[in-house]
Amino acid sequence: MKNLLPRSIAAQAMVLLVVGLAFTHLVSNLFYATDRESALLTSGGEHAILWVATVGALAETLSPQEWSAIAAADGPDRRFVTITPDPVVATAPQADWHEASLQRELSRHVPPDRLEAYRIAYASAGKTTTAATYWRNYFAQNAMHAPDELILVSLRLDNGNWLNVATPVQPSPSFFSYRLGLSMAVMLIAVVLISFFIVGRMVAPLRQLSRAAEKLGTDVQAPAIPETGPEEVQRTARAFNVMQRRIRRFVEDRTQMLGAIAHDLGTPITRLRLRAEFIEDAELRAKMLRDLDDMQQMVASTLSFIREEATSEPQATVDIGSLLRRVCDDMNDAGELVELRELPRWVLLDCRPTALRRALGNLIGNALKYGGAAEVSLSVEPEKLLILIDDNGPGIPEDRQEDVFQPFYRLEDSRNRETGGTGLGLAVARTIIRAHGGDIKLSNRSAGGLRARISLPRSKQSNEHEDPHPAVDETRGATAQNGKKTRKVSAQARSGANWRKIPGHYSPSFGEMGRLKITDGTNIHVLQGGTAEWKTR
């Protein structure tokens, strides 16, 4: 039963409400349909019994001619009368609850001393009693349609004959009827519409609370949620806002305290550096200055780490492929060897772009530092994005792959300034990625080297927007202007029949090879010198 219910509260409430009301409606109709005693009496039985009781009371005063007139007076008033020497209704005790009900009604209109002269029975279409057979034959002989349900009475007359009366009654309504189906349909439609509106209003604050909780996981500075809705929801929202303020205050206090400590350490380190200059032993002085440099670098890295946690950079929706490409291009332009595999087009992500670039830069830089080269790829799954950064370095023992994310933690092989750093790069990267709702996992590759696996929750907007920069079919009119490190360019690109301007920049190395690579912030277009008219000026 648990697995059959929908997962959302709104759907569960609507299903339970509809099922409960439908069940109640069916039970009510069942009770109504089975109340055959009232239905029988109100559909002709009471009139038939009253008529028979009246005739029985006049039995002693009626002449044989009047009895004959009564017997001939069937049909028009829907009562069929015969006079026979023997009773049509048998004398055996009746167990049918219909007949018991009729017997009780008869006792209300007939004196107790006259009840023995009456015999009453109920005949339905399925009964095969003697009385039912008699009356079916009667209707057949008189070319009349036999009613489905009859009240049958045999009354003993003073002359020894029996007065037999058959009164058709309206059949009791079937439980499964057109009316029941129609009433069920009307009731269900009304309940669904009303519950959809009411339940929707009730769960709207819960949806808002859920979104706020998700937002808090990535942005402690997120605005408070409105304290609206039912009283229970208001209390929950109020408690959530109080919790958020406490978390924000805790983070701010901790950040300020650590920032103050790191900042204040700068002054004594500077004094120690000045005093170290007066040490006469050159070797000891060099070692001390090197230690002070390490301390200075650690303080600077700590301040940067704290600054990263306290950052208030606004979130923006960016194409993660373009951001990843720019990070790799910057490193390639600096002479590093970073291979970027083919990227999917137009994959949006809600993020803090500067912080995310720093995290990716730290991870790629770590791969370059220990592997000499890095290979980067991006894949898209329904609920998340996966970024893989592979290197060909020595890898990290499996039992220490989590330890390297601790601040200032360094493997023994890297404890020197030239290669080891301060041990904050991976800690900063994981802090940033987790602030975006994702995570980083390290693993050793079977072919050798280390793999950093970055997962980020996919933006809901990624399926709602079309690529504003479709694939380029042709380029023309590109010009470039030299700068110190890059060259400004201006070109036009055609997608289908439409031309658009794509300003950007290109790397000099591409120009030297006879082609121009233009980036417009989203795509990189390579203009071959043979087909695209471009020049450097």
In the chain, what are the domains? Answer: 9-33+176-218 (no CATH), 35-168 (no CATH), 231-308 (1.10.287.130), 316-459 (3.30.565.10), 474-536 (no CATH)
State mean pLDDT over 125-149: 72
Q: Please give the structure tokens belonging to residue 455.
A: 């997962």
pLDDT at 390: 92
The string of pLDDT tens digits covering residues 44-53 is 667 777 777 7
Q: Which helix (H) or strand (E) holds 124?
A: none
- pLDDT tier at 165, thresholds 50, 70, 90: confident
The string of pLDDT tens digits covering residues 474-510 is 555 554 444 444 445 555 655 444 555 555 444 443 3
pLDDT at 536: 33
475 three-class SS: strand
pLDDT at 527: 44
211 pLDDT more than 60: yes
pLDDT at 96: 65
The full DSSP string for 156-181 is: E-TTS-EEEEEEE-PPPPPSS-HHHH
**Residue at 30: amino acid letter:** L
The string of pLDDT tens digits covering residues 383-422 is 889 999 999 888 888 888 888 888 777 765 543 445 555 6
Distances (CA, A) of 396 to 339, 367, 452, 454: 22, 12, 11, 17
68 pLDDT more than 80: no
Task: Kindly give, in sequence order, each residue whose CB lies less than 8 Å from that of residue 356, ignoring residues fewer than 6 positions away.
Answer: 323, 432, 433, 436
pLDDT at 295: 78
State mean pLDDT over 212-226: 75
If one compares 205 and 530, the residue with the highest pLDDT of the two is: 205
Task: Count CA within 13 A, CB hemisphere, residue 250.
Answer: 7
CB 323 within 8 A of CB 353: yes
d(CA 338, CA 368): 8
pLDDT at 508: 41
The distance of Cα 180 from the centroid of its chain, to the nearest Å, equals 34
pLDDT at 316: 82
% of the chain exceeding 70 in pLDDT = 68
Q: What is the value of pTM for the model shown? A: 0.48
The residue written with tokens 């329904």 in the block is 382
Radius of gyration for the chain, computed over Cα atoms and rounded to the nearest angstrom:
47
Work out the burial of residue 264: count CB atoms within 10 Å of its CB; fewer than 13 is exposed, 13-18 middle, 19 or more buried.
Answer: exposed
136 pLDDT more than 70: yes
Sign of the dihedral through C-alpha 205, 208, 210, 216: negative
Q: Which helix (H) or strand (E) holds 141?
A: helix 130-141
The residue written with tokens 């009654």 in the block is 169
Q: What is the DSSP letter of 259?
A: H
The string of pLDDT tens digits covering residues 6-29 is 777 777 777 888 888 888 877 877
Task: Kindly give, in sequence order, each residue whose CB lies less than 8 Å from that of residue 299, ignoring residues fewer than 6 positions away.
Answer: 262, 265, 266, 269
Task: Kindly give, in sequence order, each residue whose CB lies less than 8 Å from that of residue 106, ignoring residues fewer than 6 positions away.
Answer: 49, 52, 53, 115, 118, 120
pLDDT mean across residues, the chain: 73
